[in-house]
Structure 1
Amino acid sequence: EYMKPDAPDVNAAVVSWIREGGTLIYVGDGSDPFHKIDAWWGQRGYANPAEHLFELAGLGRDLKEGVHEVGAGKIVVWKELPARICLSKELADQYRSLVQKTLADTGITWTYRNDLTLHRGPYVISSVMAESVSDEKKVFTGVYADLMTNDYAIIHEKDVAPDDVTLLFDFSKIEGEDFRIVGTSARVEEGETTENGVTLRLKTADKIKAFTRVRLPKQPTDIEAIDEDGEAVAVESSWDEETKTLLVSYQSVSKEVCVTGKWA
C-alpha cells in the first residue's frame, strides 16, 4: 500500500496484466496515513487506491485476506502494515512464506542464492551479497564488454565475488545489429554509418581520457578526429574482430570532437 499509482490508468494496466495471467501480491491493511492526501482516489470517493484496483478487477472494494481469482491470474491479499515486516523476524518469515507459496502455485520454484542478477536486453547487472547463504562467486561466461572498466574491455569470463558488483554488455543479445554504442564516457551527439564509413560526434568533460566502444558492420580504417574548432585531435583506436567493435580514445579538452573512419 506504500506504492501509490500516479493515475487510475496505472491500476487499469495492472488489472489487465493480472487478467492475462499475472499474479499480484498486495500487502496492506489500509492504515497508511498517506491514503488521506489530496489525490485522485479520494477525489473519486475511494479510501485508498487499492479499493479502485480491486473494483476494476471485479472483486468489490474491500477484499478479504487470501487468494482471489481474476481472469487467468489472481490477486493475493495480506492485510498487514508493510512497515511492520522489516521490524519483526516472524513477520518477515511470514512474508517470505507467502511469496514462496504464491510462486509454487504458479509453477515457479523458490531458490535461495547469494546474488541479485538482472537481465535487461544486452545488459547484465549483478551483485553478490556478503553474509548470505554462501560465499560462492557468481560466474558469467560468454562474450561481454565489462562496462565497469574505462575501455569497456572485451572479456569471456567474469567472476563476481561476495560484496562485489558488475555491469556487463552481452553481445549474444545483439546478433544481427550493425551499429550500437556499447559503452562511452562521452555524450554521443551523433553516431551513424554510411556507405563510406562511420561518424561519431562526441562531447566529454574536460581533462579526461574519453573512451567509446561502438559496434560496426566491418572494420574502418583511417580513423581521424577533429575538434569543434577544426583542430586535429590525437586519437587512438583498436578493432576487435570477435565482437566487431571499434574502441576509440582521446584526451578531452571539453570540446566536441568528430571521429570518422572509412571502410577498407
Structure 2
Amino acid sequence: ANKNTLKDIKVLIMSYANMKPLSADFHVELTKWIKNGGVLLYYGNDNDPFQNVKEWWNSNGNTFKAPSEHLFGLLGVPSSQSGGIYDVGKGKVYLVRKDPKELIMKANGDEDFMSTVRKAYENDAKAGNLILKNNFVLERGPFLIAAVLDESQSKLPLKLEGTFIDLFNPSLPIVNTKTVQPNTQAYLFDVNKVENRSKPQVLAAAARVTNEVSSKKSYQFIAKSPAKTNNMMRILLANKPQRITANSNGKEISLTKNEWDENSKTLLLGFENFSEGVNVNISW
C-alpha cells in the first residue's frame, strides 16, 4: 500500500461490492488516515459470492466473512447490517448497508447519497463547500485524461490550456487550448511535464522505439511497427533539426512529415513503417 495515496483526500467513498483489497496492508494505512481526520463512506451489504472466495481475510488464521470485517475491526466499528455513523480518532466512518447499484436502480436514488457526501465533506472533513462539476480530469505524470458528461447540471465544455500533444488525433498535433465538449473525452500529453527536457526523447509514436543513442548534437533510434502502416512521431529535441535520415536494411525511407514546432521544441516526423525497423538519425 502506498502511504501517500490518501495524502490529499478528505473524503473517501468506497465499496467491496466488486473489487476486493489485495492485502490487509491497505486497511492498516486506511485506519491511520481515518484516525488522523479522514472521513470514510463505506457502501455495501458485503453479501456477494466473491466475499467467500479463499483469500487473505478467510485463511492463514483469519476467519472474516468479508474483507470489510477486518477493516471495521481495526477501526473499532461494529460491522452490523444496520449501519451507522461512528467517530474514529479525529475522523469519521459512515457505514451504509446499501449496495452501490441500488443508488441507480430508482429515479432520484442519488439524492440521499449526495446529501451524505455533502455532509461528510463540508461538516465532518471541514473541507469547504462541495463544488459539483460536469467533468473528470485525471493526471498521471505527463498524461492527462478528461471527460465531460452530458447528463449533469451543466452543459458547459471544459477548456484546458497548456502545451499538449493530442493523442486522440493520429496527426499528433500540438494544441495550446483543448476544448472538450459534453459527451466527449480527451487524451493529452503535457509536454511541459516531461522530466529532463534537455534529453532528446520520443514523446508519442505509432511504433516501438529502441536502441536510443543521444549526444549534444544528435539523436538516433530504431522504430519498429507492422509493415505497410504509417508512423507518426512527436519527438522532443534541444534545437531545430538540420538533418534527418531514415533507412531500413540500408534503403533510404522517404519522410512523409517533417515539421518543427518551436514553442514546444518538438519535431513531428512521419514515414512508412517496416517490421524490420527503421533507423532514424537526427542532427542539429
Would you call these one fold, judging by a TM-score over 0.5? yes
For residue 118 of structure 1, the aligned residue among 127, 130, 138 is 138
Q: What is the alpha-carbon distance in structure 2 between the residues aligned to residue 258 and residue 103 of structure 1?
A: 55
Q: What is the alpha-carbon distance in structure 2 between the residues aligned to residue 149 and residue 233 of structure 1?
A: 24
For residue 146 of structure 1, the aligned residue among 149, 166, 169 is 166
For residue 69 of structure 1, the aligned residue among 88, 94, 108 is 88
Q: How does 1:93-242 map to 2 (within 5 A)?
A: 93-105=111-123, 106=125, 107-174=127-194, 177-179=197-199, 180-227=201-248, 229-235=249-255, 236-242=257-263
Q: What is the alpha-carbon distance in structure 1 between the residues aligned to residue 271 and residue 194 of structure 2?
A: 27
Please state whether the residue corresponding to 1:12 is helix, strand or coil.
helix
Please state whether the residue corresponding to 2:64 is helix, strand or coil.
coil
Gaps of 5+ in 2: 1-15
- 179-188 or 160-169: which moved more? 179-188
Q: What is the alpha-carbon distance in structure 2 between the residues aligned to residue 112 and residue 145 of structure 1?
A: 28
Please state whether the residue corresponding to 2:130 is helix, strand or coil.
coil
Please state whether the residue corresponding to 1:116 is helix, strand or coil.
strand
Amino acid at match of 1:156: N
Q: What is the alpha-carbon distance in structure 2 between the residues aligned to residue 60 and residue 110 of structure 1?
A: 27
Q: How does 1:27-106 map to 2 (within 5 A)?
A: 27-43=43-59, 44-57=62-75, 59=76, 62=79, 64-70=83-89, 73-89=91-107, 91-105=109-123, 106=125
Please state whether the residue corresponding to 2:170 is helix, strand or coil.
coil
Q: What is the alpha-carbon distance in structure 1 between the residues aligned to residue 187 and residue 215 of structure 2?
A: 31
Shift, 1:250, TM fit: 0.3
Number of positions where the alignment pairs a residue of Structure 1 with one of Structure 2: 260
Shift, 1:25, TM fit: 1.8
Gaps of 5+ in 1: none
% identity of equivalent residues? 27
RMSD: 2.4
Q: What is the alpha-carbon distance in structure 1 between the residues aligned to residue 209 and residue 234 of structure 2?
A: 11
Amino acid at match of 2:144: V
Over 3 Å counting, the alpha-carbon distance change for 1:159 and 1:201 in structure 2 is same
Q: What is the alpha-carbon distance in structure 1 between the residues aligned to residue 156 and residue 259 of structure 2?
A: 35
Deviations 1:40-85, CA, capped at 9 Å, x for gaps: 211211111111122234x156365114324x54433212223322
Q: Does the alignment pair 1:23 with 2:42? A: no
Structure 1 contact 46–52 (Cα < 8 Å) conserved: yes
Structure 2 contact 148–157 (Cα < 8 Å) conserved: yes
Report what 1:11 is aligned to.
Answer: 27
TM-score by length of 1: 0.87
Shift, 1:154, TM fit: 1.0
Q: What is the alpha-carbon distance in structure 2 between the residues aligned to residue 23 and residue 203 of structure 1?
A: 49
For residue 279 of structure 2, the aligned residue among 244, 248, 258 is 258
Structure 1 contact 52–61 (Cα < 8 Å) conserved: no
Q: What is the alpha-carbon distance in structure 1 between the residues aligned to residue 162 and residue 233 of structure 2?
A: 21
Please state whether the residue corresponding to 2:31 is helix, strand or coil.
helix
Please state whether the residue corresponding to 2:273 is helix, strand or coil.
strand
Please state whether the residue corresponding to 2:229 is helix, strand or coil.
strand
Q: What is the alpha-carbon distance in structure 2 between the residues aligned to residue 17 and residue 190 of structure 1?
A: 45
Deviations 1:155-199, CA, capped at 9 Å, x for gaps: 221222222211122233237522343221111224342234111
